[in-house]
Amino acid sequence: MSQPVIQTEQLTKRFGAFTAVDRISFQVDKGEIFGFLGANGAGKTTAMRMLCGLSKPTSGKGTVAGYNIASQSESVKRSIGYMSQKFSLYEDLKVWENIRLFAGIYGMEERLIAPKTDELLTRLGFADERNTLVKALPLGWKQKLSFSVSIFHEPRIVFLDEPTGGVDPVTRRQFWELIYDAADRGITVFVTTHYMDEAEYCNRVSIMVDGRIEALDTPGNLKQQFGAHSMDEVFLQLARKATRKAD
């Protein structure tokens, strides 16, 4: 493997006296699907916001796609895709308008956008829905479209913040197939989730407790290490140690 795509050293974020993220160090390689787990309030979102260039670290350092997250946040933002836990497309825009908007925001060339849109919609089986307003689509479709839009500009890394909240198991399964496709194309996937069955799909998983990374390994190794049958048990063993209240 070459240079890791995400690398952090002692990355810390404090809000006043409260340390939300406490000296975390890890790295993620190209094309990896990296699960970022933790209970509510463990500091996942804060850590992810720092990696996306949305929030400056208090101390420590980190690079994303080779750019320093503190000093080169513009370049970081250009190299990543982001899908928030809330649905992140515009309901009152048509399917193609959403695609075109985000492609435009990421500075894609106009002449490349149209053929790529066609290709994407055909691949998803959405060709007939081109001119449909997004609010008329079923939730599962929206979620898939939202993910496809977040990687439409071919980012090196895509950050997914609880992407499958409120989606039924069948759609979740299909959604993960899209994630695998993206990883196969060399896009690194950094995903937070509450579903432990999804944790099993990841190449490697880290579990945050009280702002620190308490465990980081492949799901198989973690289960062995904690003598557990499922990721659920691993998670519960670690989460029980938390002293911080969930918010």
Residues within the interface to another protein (CB under 8 A): 52-56, 74, 77-78, 80, 82-93, 97, 100-102, 104-107, 133, 150, 159
**Which one, 19 or 88, has the nearer CB to another protein?**
88
- Smallest gap from Cβ 29 to another protein, in A, equals 22
Cα 2 to Cα 5, 31, 65, 66, 178, distances in angstroms: 9, 11, 12, 11, 25
The residues with which 155 forms a beta bridge, in sequence order, are: none
Burial (CB count <10 Å: 0-12, 13-18, 19+), residue 83? buried
**Which one, 74 or 128, has the nearer CB to another protein?**
74
- Smallest gap from Cβ 133 to another protein, in A, equals 8
The β-bridge relationship of strands 188-192 and 157-161 is: parallel
Give the DSSP H or E segment for 80: strand 80-83
- Smallest gap from Cβ 61 to another protein, in A, equals 17
Per the CB < 8 A criterion, the answer to whether 209 and 21 are in contact is no
Per the CB < 8 A criterion, the answer to whether 160 and 178 are in contact is no
**Which one, 93 or 124, has the nearer CB to another protein?**
93
Distance of CA 54 to the CA centre of its chain: 14
**Residue environment code for 198-207, b if the CB has 16+ CB neighbours within 10 A, otherwise e:** bbebbebbbb
- Smallest gap from Cβ 104 to another protein, in A, equals 3
**Which one, 97 or 232, has the nearer CB to another protein?**
97
Per the listing, tokens 């490697």 go with: 204
**Which one, 4 or 165, has the nearer CB to another protein?**
165
**Which one, 165 or 197, has the nearer CB to another protein?**
165
- Smallest gap from Cβ 176 to another protein, in A, equals 21
Name the token pair of 173: 């399964």
- Smallest gap from Cβ 59 to another protein, in A, equals 15
